[in-house]
Chain A
Amino acid sequence: GIQVEQSPPDLILQEGANSTLRCNFSDSVNNLQWFHQNPWGQLINLFYIPSGTKQNGRLSATTVATERYSLLYISSSQTTDSGVYFCAVKLMDSNYQLIWGAGTKLIIKP
Chain B
Amino acid sequence: EAGVVQSPRYKIIEKKQPVAFWCNPISGHNTLYWYRQNLGQGPELLIRYENEEAVDDSQLPKDRFSAERLKGVDSTLKIQPAELGDSAVYLCASSPYNTEAFFGQGTRLTVV
Is A97 a contact of B48 with CB atoms below 8 Å? yes
Kindly list chain A residues whose C-beta atoms are within 8 Å of the C-beta of B91. 43
Is A45 a contact of B100 with CB atoms below 8 Å? yes
Minimal beta-carbon separation of B105 from chain A (angstroms): 5
Cβ-based interface call for B17 (8 A): no
Contact flags A17-54 to B (C-beta < 8 A → 1, else 0): 00000000000000101010000111111001000000
In the complex formed, the residue of B with least CB distance to A30 is B99
Set A35, A96, A102: member contacting B48, Cβ < 8 A: A96
Kindly list chain B residues whose C-beta atoms are within 8 Å of the C-beta of A98. 43, 45, 101
Cross-chain pair count, CB within 8 angstroms: 44
Interface residues on A, range: 20 to 34
Is B98 a contact of A48 with CB atoms below 8 Å? no
Bound together, the chains give a CA A95 to CA B89 distance in angstroms of: 24
Bound together, the chains give a CA A30 to CA B51 distance in angstroms of: 22
Q: Measuring CB to CB, which residues of chain B are less than 8 angstroms from any residue of chain A?
A: 37, 41-43, 45, 48, 56, 89, 91, 93, 98-103, 105-106, 108
Q: Measuring CB to CB, which residues of chain A are less than 8 angstroms from any residue of chain B?
A: 31, 33, 35, 40-45, 48, 86, 88, 95-98, 100-103
9 A-B pairs with CB atoms under 8 Å apart are A33-B101, A42-B103, A42-B105, A43-B103, A44-B103, A45-B100, A45-B103, A48-B99, A98-B101
